[in-house]
Amino acid sequence: MKQELIMSGLLILGNPMIANAQQTKTTTAESISTAKNISTDSIQAMKEKLRQDSIQWEKQLAAVTIKGTRSQFRQKNGGIVARISGTSLEKEPTATEVLAKLPGMFKNKDGKPQAFIGGSPEIYINERKVQDYRVVENLPVTQIKEVKVIHHPGAEYGNNVGCVLLITTKKNLQGLAIVENSGILFDSFVSNNHDLDLTYTHGKMTYYGKLGYANWQGKWKEQDITTNYVSGSNAESNTSSQASSNAISYISSSTLDCKHSYNDHFYWSAGADLALTEKQTIGVKYDGYNIHQPMPFKMTSYAMTTHATTGSHVDDNVTGNNKFLYYDWQHHVNAFYQGKYGEKWKLNFFGDFVKLHTEQAQFVDEISERGAASTQQEARNKFTLLPQSDGTIWGAKARANYTINDKQTWMMGAEYNYVKSESRTDYTPADKGTSTHSITKENHAAVFAEYSLDFKPFSLRVGLRYEHVDSRLNYLKDETGRSGIGSFENGNSEIGTTRIGTPGTASTEAPLHRKYDNLYPSLLLSHQAGRFSQSLSYRSSEIRPSFQELNTGTVYANRYMRQVGNSQLEPSQRHEFQYQASYGDLFLQASYTYVKDYITSIIEPDSDDPQIGYITWTNIDHCWNWGSFLGYRHRWGFYEPQVQAGIQQGFIKAVSMGKEKSFHDPYYIFSLYNGFHLPKGWYLNLSFSYRSSGTYDFLTINSVHNFDFQLYKSFLKDRLSLSLNVSDIFNTISRKTDGTYGNVRFQQQKWEDTRSVQLRLTYRFNQAKKQYHGENSAQEAVGRMGGKKSRGFFSKKGYKFRDKLAYLLRKSYICNEILA
């Protein structure tokens, strides 16, 4: 990257004007010393001429420009540090665009930065963990000094962290800073977002607060088809004529059509920090949100049986006017202390308290043709199902850094989380199902240490993390009757040999008490020679099941689909090897990951009604995957392209249609950004993205591609900015999945508004950064309890009840993030 260095000093060599000046000065001195008859006026005139010439020379020399090449990226302490200030990245319109163009990063479907290997990053601004991504969006690019990308987090970071971004800003400004951010989005409806951010710095104190509101509106449609092959219908494993003659397939299909969905999202925060001394700071912060999202939709379903000899016949047609209602709130308090002692020690203490509540109400009103034709059943099925949970989290974390010498450092720390989650599922009327009620209490403690050694051109980092988890799940007594919905009545459904807790069993299940004590080592070896740097790393970690995956309460998806958790799930153990290299603007990354007891979602048929399926979770013995990513970016004058390409391939085995099958089709990604830095602060970007078809777990995902357009203009020295974004210009994004597990095939199609126009206006008065330096020691626990993580401005995913199936299909790994 070519940079311009403005030299204001005097350059003597190689400048004829300066050489002439020296000669003039020498001649003048000799004339003065030998010709004493020169008048005083002449001497003064000559001095004045020299002074004027000197001023003119300095002005000309001040404009001398020397162009050189300086590396924009450098490897430091296990990460890649990207300079932002003074580079072309400083010209990007938003901080999101900056982060998405860093080595190994790209912009996901929600418009947020994501690591191709490692997933969604954990972001820090001046050592403070970001809780709301709008903080990043509102951060002026001109205030960013540098960003450090850590693709292989060490022992300090939790097991759920695959990538870390450390943002360092420039010096804080005194006085009042105001950021007003408003946006409007057009698709089938009109959505809007507004937030006001205030920061006031006076001396050693900084106060800040934020208040925001977002309203999202849209529409969607989804079709889910399950086919259950039984009684010798598997032609691959049953080749005899008798088996073929007994082949039976049960097909069920449900189409959900939402003509108008919306959510109201209020969010707020307030806090302060105090610099006790130049080396010690304390602070406290409170933040929260409240979300209300109703989604009425029309459901049409049918069930059909196909026999090898008698043909096909429709068993039932069901229509309904149903509604999902999502309600969620959270309150979070965080406090911190940071201090430096001498030149060797640095101490950090963090504390958290979180209170959250989640509801996923389902209002069902269905009419069955089969029920209307039978005198034994009622045609109408009307009830309300209300799964809800309340969570409380206490967390604390301490970390100490000690500098042994200029080549060796030592880091150590400890953290503790106490989690209490109470979940229940209630039916109205009560005879429509069996209510469940459970309480989970968990104590999670960890200690970690890390040693770093710099022996140029190599550096070494060795870490070790120890975790102790004590978890107890207690089932409380049922409060309702035994009758249920469809196959709910007897509650005998099982997944394989493990009871998954369908309604009717919760009151009789024994408490589950688990303890885990594990060590997780990490290792990083780096090498740097000039502009070329490379590193090789290993990391061991654990992924524990979420509370939703463990919850045995039943969630009603549609007439033929339910969701129920699995309280017998075990944590997954991960072992990851990663290599990365960079040279100038070129970046390469490759990884291999082995997972023991991998947690995945599956669909199993009900034991009494083969046309009803259950979405649940199970442990697979093991799986592994590998991936590689290549990125290149460079700027030639006003044109700055960026090219990204990658491949991911997973290997997982399961019994499918009576035979063990390996699912391992790779998928590829490619993206091209064409950035144009135009005069007078205008920025234009035309981009193309493509993802091929491939397999993820047991599903085959279709290929997708889209074109996007962005126009950005800054005014008033970057205090005012206006951006226009057009997503999926040609409306080409479509989503289809198809997969088989056991004898059940699952197919899904989704339609929604993907083409949209967004207009965004941001005004910044006295651009100051947030001072708060706290970290959230309860982040992982909040995520496992279903609490919200940071979301982008007008995220298309929004809070659409985990994308339309009401906390079901997309939340489950059957419709995992990668599928969308």
Q: Specify the pLDDT at position 407.
A: 92
pLDDT band at 55 (very low <50, low <70, confident <90, very high): low
What is the tens place of the pLDDT at every residue in 190-224? 999 898 988 898 888 999 898 999 999 999 999 99
Q: What is the mean pLDDT of the chain?
A: 79
What DSSP state is assigned to residue 430? G
Measuring CA to CA, which residue among 412, 136, 336 is closest to residue 775?
A: 336
Q: Are residues 763 and 719 in contact, defined by beta-carbon separation less than 8 angstroms?
A: yes
Task: Please count the CA atoms within 13 angstroms of the CA of 429 that sit on its side-chain side.
Answer: 8
Q: CA 797, 801, 804, 805: dihedral to nearest 10 degrees?
A: 140
Tabulate helix, strand, coil % of the chain (nearest 5): 10, 60, 30
pTM of the complete model = 0.77
Comparing 621 with 431, which gets the higher pLDDT?
621
Q: 538: Cβ–Cβ under 8 A, 6 or more apart, which residues?
A: 521, 522, 523, 575, 576, 577, 578
Q: Are residues 558 and 614 in contact, defined by beta-carbon separation less than 8 angstroms?
A: no
What is the tens place of the pLDDT at every residue in 674-684? 989 899 888 89
CA distance 234 to 661: 14
- Phi first, then psi, for residue 227 (nearest 5°) are -125, 120
Strands 122-125 and 164-169: parallel
- For the residues 599-612, what does the mean pLDDT come to? 87
Token code pair at residue 622: 């093991």
What DSSP state is assigned to residue 46? H
Continuous H helices in 646-803: 779-784
User: Where exactly are the structural domains of the chain?
Assistant: 2-68, 175-819
Place of tokens 């162009």: 67
Q: Give the 3-state secondary structure of residue 543.
A: strand
Q: Specify the pLDDT at position 795.
A: 42
Measuring CA to CA, which residue among 479, 402, 381, 484 is closest to residue 438?
A: 479
Query: ∠ CA 798-803-807 to the nearest 5 degrees?
Result: 110
Place of tokens 């990245």: 89
Q: Are residues 553 and 564 in contact, defined by beta-carbon separation less than 8 angstroms?
A: yes
Token code pair at residue 659: 């035979």
Asked if residue 133 has pLDDT above 70, the reply is yes
For 407-502, strand residue ranges (E) read 408-428, 436-455, 458-475, 494-495, 498-499
Q: Specify the pLDDT at position 131.
A: 62
Token code pair at residue 561: 């689909």
- For the residues 419-443, what does the mean pLDDT come to? 88
Q: 40: Cβ–Cβ under 8 A, 6 or more apart, which residues?
A: none
Cα separations in angstroms, 593 against 114, 132, 162, 474, 699: 18, 30, 12, 34, 19
CA distance 500 to 498: 6
Cα separations in angstroms, 453 against 314, 407, 410, 523: 71, 6, 9, 12
Cα separations in angstroms, 485 against 225, 226, 672, 719: 20, 19, 51, 59
Comparing 57 with 204, which gets the higher pLDDT?
204
Token code pair at residue 480: 């309702």
Supply the DSSP string of 176-227, one letter for each residue. Answer: EEEEEEEEEEESSSEEEEEEEEEEEEETTEEEEEEEEEEEEEEEEEEEEEEE
Q: Specify the pLDDT at position 733.
A: 87
Asked if the peptide bond before residue 457 counts as cis, ω within 30 degrees of 0, the response is yes
CATH topology of domain 175-819: Maltoporin; Chain A (2.40.170)
Q: Give the 3-state secondary structure of residue 788.
A: coil
Q: Give the 3-state secondary structure of residue 781.
A: helix
Supply the DSSP string of 113-151, one letter for each residue. Answer: EEETTTBSPEEEETTEEPSSTHHHHTS-GGGEEEEEEES
Q: Specify the pLDDT at position 277.
A: 92
Comparing 660 with 295, which gets the higher pLDDT?
295
Measuring CA to CA, which residue among 34, 13, 31 is closest to residue 22?
A: 13
Q: Are residues 799 and 732 in contact, defined by beta-carbon separation less than 8 angstroms?
A: no
pLDDT band at 398 (very low <50, low <70, confident <90, very high): very high
Contacts 24+ apart (CB under 8 A), 678-682: 678/638, 681/713, 681/714, 681/715, 682/711, 682/712, 682/713
Q: Specify the pLDDT at position 82.
A: 86
Q: Give the 3-state secondary structure of residue 718.
A: coil
End-to-end CA distance of the chain: 35
CA distance 303 to 683: 54
Token code pair at residue 816: 């995992």
What is the tens place of the pLDDT at every residue in 461-512? 999 999 999 999 888 875 444 333 333 333 333 333 333 333 333 444 678 8
Amino acid at 2: K
Q: Specify the pLDDT at position 372.
A: 62
CA distance 436 to 451: 48
**Worst-scoring range by mean pLDDT, 241-255, 309-323, 432-446, 522-536?**
241-255
Asked if residue 808 has pLDDT above 50, the reply is no
Comparing 127 with 575, which gets the higher pLDDT?
575
Q: 622: Cβ–Cβ under 8 A, 6 or more apart, which residues?
A: 594, 595, 596, 597, 598
Measuring CA to CA, which residue among 327, 319, 320, 325 is closest to residue 362?
A: 325
3-state SS string for 276-331? EECCEEEEEEEEEEEEEEEEEEEEEEEEEEEECCCEEEEEEEEEEEEEEEEEEEEE
3-state SS string for 398-412? EEEEEEEECCEEEEE
Share of the chain above pLDDT 70, in %: 75
Comparing 258 with 550, which gets the higher pLDDT?
258
What is the tens place of the pLDDT at every residue in 754-797? 899 989 888 888 754 444 445 555 555 555 555 554 434 344 43
pLDDT band at 359 (very low <50, low <70, confident <90, very high): very high
Asked if residue 616 has pLDDT above 70, the reply is yes
CA distance 651 to 656: 15
Measuring CA to CA, which residue among 285, 141, 273 is closest to residue 210?
A: 285
Crossing angle of the two packed helices 40-62 and 16-34, in degrees rounded to 10: 160
Amino acid at 392: T
pLDDT band at 247 (very low <50, low <70, confident <90, very high): confident
CA distance 684 to 388: 46
CA distance 393 to 715: 44
Q: Are residues 364 and 312 in contact, defined by beta-carbon separation less than 8 angstroms?
A: no
3-state SS string for 236-285? CCCCCHHHHHCCEEEEEEEEEEEEEEEEEEEEEEEEEEEEEECCEEEEEE
Q: Are residues 599 and 619 in contact, defined by beta-carbon separation less than 8 angstroms?
A: yes
Share of the chain above pLDDT 90, in %: 36
Q: Specify the pLDDT at position 548.
A: 76
Q: Are residues 390 and 354 in contact, defined by beta-carbon separation less than 8 angstroms?
A: no
Token code pair at residue 585: 């603007």
